[in-house]
């Protein structure tokens, strides 16, 4: 008895546009930036003079490390990872759309990386060029294993797409170097990297090669984290370098690195948000591959804390710029938050790996929330401008003049000194097909996580089955799935009932049916034949969301959503001082699809009132008996993902309610 997902092709109008945008715009644009051939302005992601923002220099660093050029390393110590994530995006793109020229370009990058790799398999341009004697000696700051992980992920994807063995050989040599260097043996380093990523990459390398050492090494890094709380401090003391690898990191608490406790003892989502979700994604993968129930339980615990107490309604995580980190339960400020694009991408990875362990709709709900709001909101509609930080409330003047809000941009820059997010988005969007379904082979069940027009080919007990999914989501709530089979085949098709749908209609071959709801998935068990048709209708009602009463920033406010989208108000549609607008609790909302606006989007209109600043406030800051005057207005809302694509101005997700 077996069930395997063999291939999946996306033909969805909404998502095909994004994937084509990556192929035709983002990948070439990012290549030019990485080669310093783009005439752009590189911005610092916040007011910090230590951020290198003159150029990328990423490809040049490899040429210097390979001995092809002379010079010094420029950029962050983790600059290599920008190239690796770009390469991974190329790999997925090539699996979708054959492109000989692009493949030759990527092959050339792999050749360059091979030249930069040292004889023992070590690979890192900063340390090879500048400080080879400090290899693996400053792991809290060095990002060596973080960069290694991103190359390994890229190599696995590139091999699966193109069968390029050179990339895989580099990755295996690199993994073998790390395996020889780390562990509990004599002369090995009993420690781990300050930024999780290698752990996730090693599970992918294991899944491809079936080399048990790689899974064991991933498990070692996870279980070693937090067991010796003096490890980073001892490396700091023993370090013979004359300068920090990354200035200002020595003061970070162990929570920043998720190194304050062993992973099985950690109760809450702490520290740098990207690190936390990368760690959790790896934990979930290891739990699945190694059958580690204790690790899976730890994942559930961290998931619950993060999703029920520390996540924004847009799927953003990270409440403070200080450490790009979590803070405490229910602390979710809207105008000083961080909500890094990479953090939401990492949350998607975590959610999907939890889905592979256990089919619970809450994981797919969060995946969808992060994907449709913060993730794609992190890029402009032209594919060439990007947000590092994704605010829920913006006033441009505050960002310009308040140092505490310098990280909150009101337009998307062309590139960043720390450019982790743009290529991360590219690799997410080109790999989107991986997230639509998960399969449980033993139960002969396929779970529909996302509703995206696509064709999936499965093998069930050595017979091919196709699922042809058609939908106009995210704008309309009708989904149809047609099966094609070589012969009548028994399996379970489970459809997610999204959090935003209060009701549904389910029709199979023209007959309304009831389906058992198991953990948020509607299970349809039958013997399927060619041209069997499921129609799944989800009402797309406009929702008013309120936050938990302990979220102080949102008390007395509502956010508006429809389907997977959270909506926001912009100054360009509603005038300035959005905070003066109030919504009535029982007001009726009107939805309209505007094909001419921002590439075609659904807009929401609602009658509201706006407070008038009267003459009594001239030269007065505080008053004890001020009269309050309002004027009627119509509030226009657009999906959050497409804000800041017209002109700069205020933006707001949470609105005052009377």
Task: With cut-offs at 50, 70 and 90, classify the pLDDT of residue 401.
Answer: very high
Run of H or E including 593: strand 589-594
Dump pLDDT digits (tens) for 551-604.
999 999 999 999 999 999 999 999 999 999 999 988 899 999 999 999 999 999
**Alpha carbon distance 155, 166 (integer Å):** 9
pLDDT (0 to 100) of residue 442:
85
**Alpha carbon distance 491, 444 (integer Å):** 5
| 266 in Cβ contact with 302 (< 8 Å) | yes
Run of H or E including 603: strand 601-611
Nearest C-alpha neighbor of 146 from the set 214, 200, 205: 200
**Alpha carbon distance 147, 134 (integer Å):** 16
Taking residue 52's Cβ as centre, other Cβ atoms within 10 Å add up to: 15
CATH number for domain 437-537, candidates 1.10.287, 2.30.230, 2.60.40, 1.10.760: 2.60.40
Longest dimension (CA), the chain: 81
Taking residue 622's Cβ as centre, other Cβ atoms within 10 Å add up to: 6
**Alpha carbon distance 180, 213 (integer Å):** 11
Nearest C-alpha neighbor of 538 from the set 445, 468, 472: 472
Per the DSSP assignment, residues forming a β-bridge with 457 are: 7, 466
- HSE at residue 154, side-chain half, CA atoms within 13 A, is 30
**Read out DSSP for 368-415?**
HHIIIIIIHHTB-TTSS-B-SB--SEE-HHHHHH-GGGTT--SS--SE
**Alpha carbon distance 495, 469 (integer Å):** 12
Nearest C-alpha neighbor of 80 from the set 129, 121, 39, 47: 129
- HSE at residue 34, side-chain half, CA atoms within 13 A, is 25
Read off φ and ψ for residue 193, nearest 5 degrees.
Answer: -80, 150
Dump pLDDT digits (tens) for 370-391.
999 999 999 999 999 999 999 9
From residue 354, alpha-carbon distances to 314, 367, 427 in Å are: 20, 10, 20
Q: Residue 494 burial (CB < 10 Å; 0-12/13-18/19+)? A: buried
Task: With cut-offs at 50, 70 and 90, classify the pLDDT of residue 3.
Answer: low
| 346 in Cβ contact with 274 (< 8 Å) | yes
Nearest C-alpha neighbor of 480 from the set 521, 539, 529, 535: 535
Dump pLDDT digits (tens) for 267-312.
999 999 999 999 999 999 999 999 999 999 999 999 999 999 999 9
Dump pLDDT digits (tens) for 14-64.
999 999 999 999 999 999 999 999 998 888 777 777 777 788 999 999 999
Cα 201 versus chain centre, distance: 16
Q: Map residue 262 onto helix, strand or coil.
A: coil
Nearest C-alpha neighbor of 95 from the set 27, 28, 163, 170: 163
Q: Which residue ranges make up each domain of the chain?
A: 80-239, 292-432, 437-537, 543-657
| 445 in Cβ contact with 426 (< 8 Å) | no
Q: Whats the size of the chain, residue-wise?
A: 658
pLDDT (0 to 100) of residue 1:
38
Which region holds residue 510: left if phi is over 0, alpha if psi is between -120 and 50, else beta? left
pLDDT (0 to 100) of residue 2:
53
**Alpha carbon distance 344, 280 (integer Å):** 13
Per the DSSP assignment, residues forming a β-bridge with 602 are: 593
Task: With cut-offs at 50, 70 and 90, classify the pLDDT of residue 248.
Answer: confident
| 631 in Cβ contact with 610 (< 8 Å) | yes
Q: Which of 241-250, 304-313, 605-614, 640-649 is predicted with the least confidence, judged by mean pLDDT? A: 241-250
Nearest 10 degrees: Cα torsion 28, 348, 495, 509: 0
**Alpha carbon distance 407, 594 (integer Å):** 32
pLDDT (0 to 100) of residue 47:
73
Dump pLDDT digits (tens) for 163-195.
999 999 999 999 999 999 999 999 999 999 999
Q: Map residue 532 onto helix, strand or coil.
A: coil
Average confidence (pLDDT) over 112-138:
98
Nearest C-alpha neighbor of 143 from the set 188, 84, 184: 84
From residue 273, alpha-carbon distances to 77, 257, 277, 366 in Å are: 19, 10, 6, 16
Read off φ and ψ for residue 230, nearest 5 degrees.
Answer: -100, 0
- Show which residues are catalytic: 324, 420
**Three-state SS sequence of 471-488:** ECCCCCCEEEEEEEECCC
Mean pLDDT rounded to a whole number for the chain: 96
**Alpha carbon distance 653, 569 (integer Å):** 7
Q: Residue 435 burial (CB < 10 Å; 0-12/13-18/19+)? A: buried
Which region holds residue 462: left if phi is over 0, alpha if psi is between -120 and 50, else beta? left
| 126 in Cβ contact with 143 (< 8 Å) | no
Strand boundaries in 449-510, DSSP class E: 454-460, 463-471, 478-485, 489-496, 505-508
**Alpha carbon distance 89, 336 (integer Å):** 31
pLDDT (0 to 100) of residue 413:
94
pLDDT (0 to 100) of residue 625:
87
**Alpha carbon distance 344, 366 (integer Å):** 10
Percent of the chain with pLDDT over 90: 91
Per the DSSP assignment, residues forming a β-bridge with 521 are: 496, 518
**Alpha carbon distance 197, 214 (integer Å):** 14
pLDDT (0 to 100) of residue 45:
77
Q: Map residue 355 onto helix, strand or coil.
A: helix
Q: Is the pTM here over 0.95, yes or no?
A: yes
From residue 87, alpha-carbon distances to 110, 285, 502, 542 in Å are: 9, 23, 42, 40
């Amino acid at each position: 008895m077996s069930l395997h997902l063999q291939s999946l092709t996306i033909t969805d109008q909404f998502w095909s546009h994004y994937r084509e945008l990556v192929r035709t715009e983002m990948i070439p644009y990012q290549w030019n930036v990485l080669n310093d051939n783009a005439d752009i302005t590189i911005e610092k992601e916040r007011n910090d003079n230590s951020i290198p923002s003159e150029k990328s220099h990423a490809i040049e660093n490899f040429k210097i490390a390979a001995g092809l050029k002379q010079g010094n390393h420029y950029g962050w110590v983790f600059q290599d990872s920008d190239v690796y994530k770009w390469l991974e995006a190329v790999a997925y793109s090539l699996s979708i759309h054959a492109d000989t020229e692009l493949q030759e370009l990527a092959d050339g990058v792999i050749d360059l990386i091979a030249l930069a790799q040292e004889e023992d398999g070590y690979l890192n341009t900063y340390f090879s060029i500048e400080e080879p004697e400090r290899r693996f000696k400053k792991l809290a700051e060095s990002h060596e294993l973080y960069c290694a992980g991103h190359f390994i992920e890229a190599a696995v994807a590139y091999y699966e797409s193109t069968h390029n063995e050179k990339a895989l050989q580099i990755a295996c040599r690199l993994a073998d170097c790390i395996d020889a260097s780390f562990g509990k043996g004599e002369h090995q380093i009993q420690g781990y990297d300050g930024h999780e990523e290698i752990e996730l990459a090693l599970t992918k390398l294991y899944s491809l090669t079936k080399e048990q050492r790689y899974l064991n090494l991933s498990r070692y890094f996870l279980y070693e984290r937090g067991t010796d709380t003096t490890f980073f401090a001892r490396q700091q003391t023993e370090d013979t370098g004359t300068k920090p690898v990354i200035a200002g990191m020595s003061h970070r608490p162990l929570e920043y690195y998720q190194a304050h406790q062993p992973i099985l003892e950690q109760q809450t989502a702490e520290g740098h948000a990207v690190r936390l979700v990368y760690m959790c994604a790896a934990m979930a993968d290891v739990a699945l591959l190694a059958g580690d129930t204790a690790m899976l339980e730890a994942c559930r615990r961290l998931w619950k804390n993060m999703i029920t107490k520390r996540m924004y309604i847009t799927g953003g995580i990270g409440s403070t710029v200080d450490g790009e980190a979590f803070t405490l339960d229910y602390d979710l400020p809207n105008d000083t938050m961080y909500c890094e694009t990479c953090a939401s991408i990492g949350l998607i990875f975590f959610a999907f790996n939890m889905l592979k362990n256990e089919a619970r709709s809450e994981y797919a709900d969060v995946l969808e929330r992060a994907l449709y709001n913060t993730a794609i909101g992190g890029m402009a509609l032209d594919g060439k401008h990007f947000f590092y930080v994704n605010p829920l409330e913006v006033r441009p003047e505050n960002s310009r003049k308040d140092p505490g809000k310098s990280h909150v941009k009101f337009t998307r820059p062309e590139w960043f000194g720390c450019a982790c997010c743009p290529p991360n988005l590219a690799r997410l969007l080109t790999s989107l097909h991986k997230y639509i379904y998960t399969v449980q082979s033993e139960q002969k069940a396929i779970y529909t996580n996302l509703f995206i027009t696509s064709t999936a080919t499965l093998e069930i007990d050595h017979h091919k089955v196709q699922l042809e999914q058609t939908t106009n989501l995210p704008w309309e709530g009708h989904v149809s799935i047609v099966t094609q089979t070589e012969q009548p085949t028994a399996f379970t098709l489970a459809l997610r009932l999204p959090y935003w749908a209060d009701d549904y209609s389910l029709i199979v071959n023209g007959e309304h049916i009831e389906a058992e709801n198991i953990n948020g998935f509607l299970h349809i068990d039958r013997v399927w034949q060619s041209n069997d048709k499921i129609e799944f209708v989800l009402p797309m009602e406009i929702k008013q969301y309120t936050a938990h009463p302990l979220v102080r920033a949102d008390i007395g406010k509502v956010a508006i959503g429809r389907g997977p989208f959270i909506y926001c108000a912009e100054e360009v549609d509603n005038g300035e001082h959005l905070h003066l607008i109030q919504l009535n609790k029982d007001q009726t909302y009107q939805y309209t699809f505007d094909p001419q606006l921002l590439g075609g989007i659904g807009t929401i209109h609602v009658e509201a009132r706006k407070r008038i600043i009267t003459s009594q406030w001239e030269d007065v800051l505080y008053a004890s008996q001020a009269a309050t005057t309002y004027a009627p207005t119509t509030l226009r809302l657009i999906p959050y993902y497409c804000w800041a694509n017209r002109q700069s101005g205020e933006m707001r997700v949470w609105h005052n309610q009377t």
